[in-house]
Amino acid sequence: MKCIILAAGYATRLYPLTKNKAKPPLLNVARKPILDHIMEKVQKVAQIDEVYIITNEKFTSSFQDWANNYQGGDKQVTVVNDHTTTNDNRLVAIADIEYVLTEKKIEEEIMVRAGDNLFDFELTDFVDFYKEVQADCIMTHELNDP
């Protein structure tokens, strides 16, 4: 199984904080980058042998720096540049997934993760559910307090 982490957005809603910083590798939550939190969950999934982080031209070097210094586990991490340059010409999620699948010639099972979502349950439970139902699965979270 491969994991694709979607991180090709430009985080315009967080400007000016993210004008020159990508959210996942550079913004900290509880004293570590968001991407470190995500990878802690991914590392626990034995079926995943490689992680692809899809990003854009603007932030590729930030993600590559993060990947070069990442020491949190044994999964191979590959940064993929979708070659977009602005929020106006970005590919959006589905096209970025297709880009990685085509570019890296992936034909096996994939887990797709948003690069800026944090949660407290384990991905291993999600994979167990996926195997149990033997069908594509989408994870949601109910918000009871608007």
At residue 24 the predicted structure's pLDDT band, cuts being 50, 70 and 90, is low
Look at residue 1 and tell me whether its pLDDT is greater than 70.
Answer: yes
Question: What local confidence, expressed as pLDDT, does residue 107 receive?
Answer: 95
Task: Tell me whether residue 141 is in a domain.
Answer: no
Rounded mean pLDDT, 34-48 = 95
Task: Tell me whether residue 110 is in a domain.
Answer: yes
- Tell me the residue range of the domain where 69 lies: 2-133
Task: Tell me whether residue 6 is in a domain.
Answer: yes
Hey, CA dihedral for 81, 114, 29, 15, is it positive or negative? positive
Lowest mean pLDDT among 4-8, 101-105, 142-146: 142-146
Task: Tell me whether residue 146 is in a domain.
Answer: no
Stated pTM of the model? 0.91
How many structural domains compose the chain? 1
**Do 35 and 24 form a contact (C-beta atoms < 8 A)?**
yes
At residue 105 the predicted structure's pLDDT band, cuts being 50, 70 and 90, is very high
Task: Tell me whether residue 41 is in a domain.
Answer: yes
Residues in the chain: 146
Look at residue 81 and tell me whether its pLDDT is greater than 80.
Answer: yes
Mean pLDDT value across the chain: 91
Within 13 Å, how many C-alpha atoms sit on residue 2's CB side? 17
Task: Tell me whether residue 90 is in a domain.
Answer: yes
CATH number at residue 66: 3.90.550.10
Alpha helical stretches, state H, the chain: 23-26, 34-43, 60-69, 93-103, 123-133
Task: Tell me whether residue 9 is in a domain.
Answer: yes
**Do 6 and 56 form a contact (C-beta atoms < 8 A)?**
no
Report pLDDT digits (tens) over 107-131: 999 999 998 888 888 999 999 999 9
Question: What local confidence, expressed as pLDDT, does residue 60 receive?
Answer: 94
